[in-house]
A and B are shown apart, each in its own frame.
Chain A
Amino acid sequence: MDWKRTREPADAWHMTDDLHVEHGKGDPFAAAIRATRMSMIITDPRQQDNPIVFANDAFLRLTGYERQEVIGRNCRFLQGPKTDKEAIGQLRKAIEEVADVSVDILNYRKDGSTFWNALYISPVSNDRGELLFYFASQLDVSDRKRSERRITADKERFEKAVQDRTRELEAALEAQTTLLHEVDHRVKNNLQMISSLILMQRRTITDEAARQSLTTTLERIEALSTVHRRLYQSKDVSRFDVSDFARDLISDLVTASGRTHINSRLDLEPVIIPAEKATPVALIVNELVTNALKHAFKEHPDGATAGHIGVRMSQPDGHLNIEVSDDGVGMAGTVAETSFGMRLIKSLARQLHAEVEWDDAAPGTRVVISIPNEPQHRGNAS
């Protein structure tokens, strides 16, 4: 259908398809469209294949074509092999539906170079709703696209680097955790095996003194085992509660071994020490308690073996105080036989910078160990 034969009034937009028509030249809006730096075209959907009927100078500058090369052609000549099919589909759909559309699309200049076109197309209808034109404006957004692409690429590269690094770290952590579990498992099993070996050996021995010696060794090994078990069963492997350990030890040595004739008096505040002090402190506690049990009640002057053992733990003024007392035979009966135990206590005390006080409590013995405990660990008891 030839639009010129319709009854549409010839307004300024109509005239623009002919660049030399007098009518359009006098129109200030038409003049503005011609002169603006914004690239603009008008197409006529009532002609076959919706050809361009007007293109301003900015459009020609942007695309590199001459005016006579573009007038009368559908503007798809701007598309090329790398133009996104989806963007083309969006345009086609908008034209079919006679709707506005705004799309970023890769276009080709006459010389084959490309530019990113922020294309806006809008249908123009008359009062009766009849479609007359499509108005299209083009904006070269290649710079913006480039930086967008760069930002996206940077972001992707960065995300990938982060992902790679995270994977590496997770793998490393996984390996570390596996190794730690393996080592922990092995340490525990080995401690159990050492105890088992000593027990088996002890079974073959009839000499009471030799058996006693192995028992003492077993108890020391078991003290180490208990420290290890408690540390790795707790939520925080860097802290150790000496009072919990003492409770376990007393229940193990007194209650479980059937020494029902011995009463234990426990006065235990929670005492938290750093893990590196756990072993020496636990060995000292073990030494004092087993010592009290073994020797203090051996031979009461009146022949009875019933007695009391008391363990007190407190932490005044940045110190950890451990007091083990009994009402047994007293120092005279204990010191000579426990010389190695004594040496052990003294050496461990030196390692801990602790002070040891042996009192003849008459009856019995009282030993007080005072260990400096870092102020920051005070009040950490839970």
Chain B
Amino acid sequence: MIEPLKVLIVEDEALLAMELESLVEEAGHSVVGWATSSDEARRAVDTTEADIAFVDIHLTDGPTGVDVARYIGEKKKSMVVFMTANPKRIPDHFAGAIGVIAKPYTMNGLLSSLRYLQEGVRRPPPKSALPAGFTLSPAFQIVWAPTA
């Protein structure tokens, strides 16, 4: 049994954050925090220990998700996965993030992404196939899916 993940949710839509939290917990992982703005997100990053942060690009203070990802990268506190309806706004270098789960995602798509990420974080590279709807950043593509 692989150790479950501690997840930080950075998402401005309460409804989506709520449901994401439920799904994460149902899958056996834990949610250590929820932030709706970049300020909240920085505070949450400083005060919690997370393995993975799911970061929306668009937050209550604007399209600041990429800044949040950069901050997390600088602090080396956790890994980042973008979760956005606007994947085209992600810079080419992905600000160091693993990849992106494009909205709208499916429940099963999210669950398989969680499994994939759990393997990738705990025992890289992941054994499972890359889930539909999950796109790896160019840097992680090389490390996690060299033949894909």
Contacts and interface: CB of A to CB of B under 8 A. Distances in A.
Contact of B85 (A192, A200, A255): A192
B31 interface: no
B19 A200 contact: yes
A29 to B, nearest CB: 78
Nearest to B87: A233
B17 to A, nearest CB: 9
Interface residues on A, range: 20 to 34
A90 to B, nearest CB: 55
Interface stretch (B1-9, B33-41, B90-98, B128-136): B128-136
Interface residues of B, number: 26
Contact of B86 (A181, A193, A197, A222): A181
B104 A228 contact: yes
Interface in B11-25: 13, 15-16, 18-20, 22-23
Given A225-B106, A252-B106, A196 B85 contact: no
A192 B109 contact: no
A357 B70 CA distance: 54
A252 B87 CA distance: 20
Contacts of B86: 181, 185
Interface in B71-114: 85-87, 102-109, 111-112
B115 to A, nearest CB: 8
A229 B104 contact: yes
B107 A195 contact: yes
Given A188-B104, A233-B87, A252 B19 contact: no
B141 to A, nearest CB: 16
Contacts of B85: 184-185, 188-189, 192
B108 A203 contact: no
B42 to A, nearest CB: 24
Interface in A246-270: 247-248, 251-253, 255-257
Nearest to A186: B85
Nearest to A190: B104
Given A193-B15, A196-B15, A200-B19, A188 B131 contact: no
A199 B110 CA distance: 13
Nearest to A227: B104
Contact of B108 (A185, A197, A253): A253
Interface string A160-189: 000000000000000000000100110011
Chain A binding surface SS class = helix
Contacts of B58: 185
A137 interface: no
Given A192-B85, A229-B104, A255 B16 contact: no
Nearest to B57: A185
B129 A192 contact: no
Contacts of B19: 195-196, 199-200
A218 B111 CA distance: 15
A356 B61 CA distance: 51
A248 B19 CA distance: 22
Given A196-B18, A256-B111, A222 B106 contact: yes
A193 B13 contact: yes
A192 B13 CA distance: 10
A355 to B, nearest CB: 29
Contacts of A247: 132
| Most B-side CB within 10 Å, residue of A184, A193, A228 | A193
Nearest to B135: A233
A243 to B, nearest CB: 13
A203 B26 CA distance: 11
Contacts of A193: 13, 15-16
Nearest to A191: B104
A226 interface: yes
Nearest to A215: B107
Contacts of B132: 226, 247-248, 251-252
17 contacts: A188-B103, A189-B103, A189-B104, A191-B103, A192-B85, A192-B105, A193-B13, A197-B15, A199-B107, A218-B107, A226-B104, A229-B102, A229-B104, A229-B133, A251-B112, A252-B106, A255-B112
Given A196-B16, A196-B19, A222-B106, 4 more contacts: A189-B104, A233-B87, A251-B131, A255-B112
Interface of B: 13, 15-16, 18-20, 22-23, 58, 85-87, 102-109, 111-112, 129, 131-133
9 A-B pairs with the lowest CB-CB distances in the bound complex, closest first: A188-B85, A196-B19, A225-B104, A256-B112, A248-B132, A256-B108, A191-B104, A192-B104, A222-B106
